[in-house]
Amino acid sequence: MASGSHRLDRYFSKTLGINRRDVKALLAQGRILIDHQPAADAEQLVDEFSHIAFDERVLQLKLPVYLMLHKPIGILSATTDPRHPTVIDLLQRADKGDLHIVGRLDRGSSGLLLLTNDGRWSRALMAPKLEVPKVYLVTVQNPLTPDYVKAFSDGMYFAYEGITTRPARLEILEERLARVTLVEGRYHQIKRMFGRFRNPVLALHRTAIGNLPLDPALAPGQSRELTPAELKGIRG
């Protein structure tokens, strides 16, 4: 079924052509199981990840998938592309065609990328109002100065979109290396912000999303499923 929640009687009407009024009788007979438990209410909500069985016949069995991937440089953050390899091509999973990307990285960037088949989770994680921070290590061509820290914190006006970026945190780690934390993701935002100083970005690597750091055990191109604790704690 499509992403989103639906009433149980509506699901059976759409899936099996059963009259919605007849679903109550099936419930009374204990013939419908939701997540392995007898369903009792025709108005109960089910979604794409509900385990639904009717007369011991499984009608729906789809498990949510949440992956972290160490994206290498040169790989597209896309599900398909006719010319270039994509992050989906890196996966050795039968269900990879069902996955989508949660917050892209440019082809020339590397680091933490999330993939899932759960659209509600990905939309919630990327919702601007939640201000989930994304952390990057940025290598630039020219030396950094304290002026960068203030400019990133103040926000920068982008005339093309007619917007001012939200305050970002820049920490100078080395002469040409900074840690940048954003709570938004405008088009090529980090490169454009450093571009205000005419300082080209040479490398950009995402190290964390929210409270979830990139697993240092993952080599570029490798991925793994998130643990329950990581899922629970990613947004703090």
pLDDT tens-digit series, residues 129-156: 788 999 999 999 999 999 999 999 999 9
Range with the lowest mean pLDDT among 52-61, 82-91, 100-109, 222-231? 52-61
What average pLDDT does range 11-35 have in this prediction? 90
Strands (E), the chain: 6-7, 32-34, 37-38, 45-46, 52-54, 57-60, 66-71, 100-102, 110-116, 134-140, 157-158, 163-164, 169-174, 177-182, 201-209, 212-213, 223-225
Would you state the pLDDT for residue 2?
Answer: 53
- Catalytic annotation on 47? no
Can you tell me which residue has the tokens 């050795």? 92
The tens digit of pLDDT for each residue in 122-132 reads 988 888 778 89
Asked whether the domain spanning 66-233 has the same topology as the one spanning 6-60, the reply is no
Q: Is the pLDDT of residue 236 over 80?
A: no
Would you state the pLDDT for residue 153?
Answer: 97
What average pLDDT does range 201-206 have in this prediction? 98
Q: Superfamily for 66-233?
A: Pseudouridine synthase (3.30.2350.10)
Mean pLDDT of the chain: 92
Question: How far apart are the C-alpha atoms of 215 and 212, rounded to whole Å?
Answer: 9
Would you state the pLDDT for residue 138?
Answer: 98
What average pLDDT does range 25-39 have in this prediction? 91
Of the residues 55, 106, 154, 215, only one is catalytic, namely 106
Per DSSP, the three-state class of 221 is coil
The tens digit of pLDDT for each residue in 94-111 reads 889 989 999 889 999 999
Comparing 212 with 2, the larger pLDDT belongs to 212
Q: Is the pLDDT of residue 234 over 60?
A: yes
C-alpha of 18 from chain center: 36
Would you state the pLDDT for residue 60?
Answer: 80
* All structural domains of the chain with their residue ranges: 6-60, 66-233
pLDDT band for position 3 (cuts 50, 70, 90): low
Would you state the pLDDT for residue 48?
Answer: 84
Query: CATH assignment of 6-60?
Result: 3.10.290.10
Query: Could you tell me the two tokens for 122?
Result: 């990905």
Q: In angstroms, what is the C-alpha Rg of the chain?
A: 23
Query: Could you tell me the two tokens for 108?
Result: 């020339």
Per DSSP, the three-state class of 53 is strand
The tens digit of pLDDT for each residue in 35-74 reads 889 998 998 988 888 889 999 898 887 889 999 999 999 9
Would you state the pLDDT for residue 15?
Answer: 87
User: Cβ distance 4 to 45 under 8 Å?
Assistant: no
Question: How far apart are the C-alpha atoms of 68 and 72, rounded to whole Å?
Answer: 13
